[in-house]
Structure 1
Amino acid sequence: MLTGAIGAIRIGPRGGITGLDLPALLIQAKALGYDETLLARLLPFAERGMVVGAAKQQTET
């Protein structure tokens, strides 16, 4: 689901990933017929992983 939701990624002023637009993703999940309750629990973990991974990648380059 996240690969098709590039517009739901929040980008900071310096171009780094700051998080996900969780309400927008839950609206999209509902429209696609996904389990919103499950995604509401899982998406914060995905968000944290994306932010940490992006920050790590920026410090390595």
Structure 2
Amino acid sequence: MLTGAIGAISIGPRGGITGLDLPALLIQAEALGYDQSQLARLLPFAERGMVTGAAKTQTET
């Protein structure tokens, strides 16, 4: 779901991922027929992983 939701990913001024627009993702999830309660539990973990991974990638380059 996140790969198709590039507009819901917040990008900082230096190009790093700063977070996800969780309300927008839940609206998309509803439209796609996904279980919103499950995604509401999982998306914060996905957000944390994406932000951590992006920060790690930026420090390695």
**TM-score normalised to structure 1 length:** 0.97
* SS in structure 1 of the partner of residue 52 of structure 2: helix
Which structure 1 residue ranges, 5 or more long, are not aligned?
A: none
Q: How many residues align?
A: 61
Question: Where do 1:15-30 residues align within 5 Å?
Answer: 15-30=15-30
Q: CA RMSD in A?
A: 0.5
10-19 or 43-52: bigger deviation: 10-19
Runs of 4+ in 1 over 3 A off after TM superposition: none
Aligned to 2:34: 34
Question: Structure 2 length as normaliser, TM-score?
Answer: 0.97
Deviations 1:6-46 (A, max 9, x none): 11100111211000000000000000000000000000000
Q: Percent identity?
A: 89
Aligned partners of 1:14, 1:53: CA distance in 2, in Å?
15
1:9 partnered with 2:32: no
Q: Name structure 2 gaps, 5 residues minimum.
A: none
SS in 2 for 1:15: coil
Q: Which moved more, 1:4-13 or 1:38-47?
A: 4-13
